[in-house]
A and B are shown apart, each in its own frame.
Chain A
Amino acid sequence: MSEEFKIEIVNPEKSFLVKEDVLEVVVPAFEGEMGILKDHISIISFLKPGIIKVFSKSGDENYYVEDGIIEFKNNNLSILTSTIFSVKDLDKSKQVDLLKKAEAEASKSEMSDQAKYLADQKVEVLRSIN
């Protein structure tokens, strides 16, 4: 039996990525990283800023996301996100840009703990990409 399932990443503008031969996806879910294999139980979860790792037969890819929702059902993984970049295509200046924005956000004084946590997370992930 094949171990492949389908992934679809969409952002508001377009369908960002569709792949049919995915073996494993690791997503930065809200309560920790989560690996998804074929026949995972149906799940809906939030994403926090982090890296989505897609392992497929046609090669591995990494994507940086800032937020999103994932839904896994009947071996279809849908990821809805408003901000997504392929790590491979993310050039230095863009990355520095994002990092600056994230740092500015994280250094704001009045914000809820949750927002603070998310902003810190963003900074950390962006720094780690280097």
Chain B
Amino acid sequence: MASLDDLKKRIASVKSTQKITKAMKMVAAAKLRRAQESAERGRPYSEKMNNIILNLSNGISDKENAPKLLSGTGENKTHLCVVMTSDRGLCGGFNSNIIKKAKSHFSKILNEGKQLKIITVGSKGNDQLKRVYGDKIIKNISFKESKNANYFDADKVGRIIIEKFEAGEFDICTIFFNQFKNVITQLPQAQQIIPLNNEEDNNNSDESYEFEPDEDEILSNLLPKNISTQIFKAMLENSASEQGSRMSAMDNATRNAGEMVDKLTIEYNRSRQAAITKELIEIISGAESL
């Protein structure tokens, strides 16, 4: 059994760990509120953008010559996967969930004999992926300096993707991020952004629009913007998810530390008592022998 002194030290150290996790939880809770708000406020923009593009692509007259960002290159050889994770750890399963989702997608692609290229956004994803897929990672982007997700950063990522697409480096682009559902639940998502998935294609397409200038020009301007918008949305969802995940992870950690302190305290008291009893017995038996 550990000595009294050792137990005392352990209790103190667990207590101070508990203080840290408690503080982190509270910070995460405060940040979560803000992140959640901005994620919710950001949703209308990306939804509207999607709607407009949907309406546009329905209205486009000549599907053959549609911009490549919309219809794809017509091939399906090289996949680009953008894995968006956080820059900081201690947030429970947040990063691992994305990585898990991404990895299963990767092995599917590789099994089909297609080429894989990876861009990681956020350093944690890069750390976890570089061991296995190190040779596939073509770029790592990190926004450690920016405090909150902002459109400017998203636009930067979007530009890089479009640049690579125009250089013919890939055919299909998918982004991975965590969608924020609530504090306990975050859903890892894989969303294809190039070419655009038009599954719900045939809704109310009778509506005819007037376009100014013409459809093609609007589309070719709008599609790159849409990519940035989708990435921005992913960043917002991600940052809300990160804080939510961190908050529940830290909450758990605080609770576990509390349990541990209780257990250790009982053990400490027991051994203290045992030591006293032992001492008493020694004194009494010493007195008897006289």
Q: How large is the interface on A (under 10, 10 to 19, 20 to 34, 35 or more residues)?
A: 20 to 34
Which residue of the partner chain, among A10, A31, A45, contacts B48 with CB atoms under 8 Å?
A10
Whether B218 lies near A44 (C-beta < 8 A) is: yes
Whether B55 lies near A82 (C-beta < 8 A) is: no
Whether A45 lies near B211 (C-beta < 8 A) is: yes
B52 interfacial contact with A, CB 8 Å = yes
Whether A13 lies near B42 (C-beta < 8 A) is: yes
Whether A69 lies near B151 (C-beta < 8 A) is: no
Chain A residues 62-118 with CB under 8 Å of chain B are 69, 71, 73, 78, 80, 82
In the complex, residue of chain A having the shortest beta-carbon distance to the beta carbon of B222: A69
Whether A29 lies near B52 (C-beta < 8 A) is: no
Q: Contacts A13-B41, A14-B38; is A71 near B207 (CB within 8 Å)? A: no
B208 interfacial contact with A, CB 8 Å = yes
Residues of A within 8 A of B45 (CB): 10-12, 15, 80
In the complex, residue of chain A having the shortest beta-carbon distance to the beta carbon of B208: A42
Q: Which of B45, B154, B232 is packed against the most chain A CB atoms within 10 Å?
A: B45
Residues of A within 8 A of B207 (CB): 42, 73
Interface of B is mostly: helix
Give the distance in Å from the alpha carbon of A71 to the alpha carbon of B49 in the complex: 10
Interface of A is mostly: strand
Whether B52 lies near A12 (C-beta < 8 A) is: no
Q: How large is the interface on B (under 10, 10 to 19, 20 to 34, 35 or more residues)?
A: 20 to 34
Q: Which of A8, A41, A80 is packed against the most chain B CB atoms within 10 Å?
A: A80
Q: How far is the CB of A73 from chain B (nearest CB, A)?
A: 7
Give the distance in Å from the alpha carbon of A11 to the alpha carbon of B51 in the complex: 15
Residues of B within 8 A of A29 (CB): 212
B168 interfacial contact with A, CB 8 Å = no
In the complex, residue of chain A having the shortest beta-carbon distance to the beta carbon of B232: A12
B234 interfacial contact with A, CB 8 Å = no
Residues of B within 8 A of A8 (CB): 44
A30 interfacial contact with B, CB 8 Å = yes
Whether A46 lies near B151 (C-beta < 8 A) is: no
Chain B residues 35-49 with CB under 8 Å of chain A are 38, 41-42, 44-45, 48-49
Q: How far is the CB of B89 from chain A (nearest CB, A)?
A: 27
Binding site for A on B (CB under 8 A): 38, 41-42, 44-45, 48-49, 51-52, 55-56, 150-151, 154, 207-213, 218, 221-222, 225, 229, 232
Contacts A69-B218, A78-B48 known; 9 new A-B pairs at CB < 8 A:
A10-B48, A13-B38, A13-B41, A15-B44, A44-B209, A44-B210, A46-B221, A73-B207, A73-B209
Contacts A/B (CB < 8 Å), 17 sampled: A12-B42, A12-B154, A13-B150, A15-B45, A31-B212, A31-B213, A42-B210, A43-B210, A44-B209, A44-B218, A71-B55, A73-B55, A73-B209, A78-B48, A78-B52, A80-B45, A80-B52
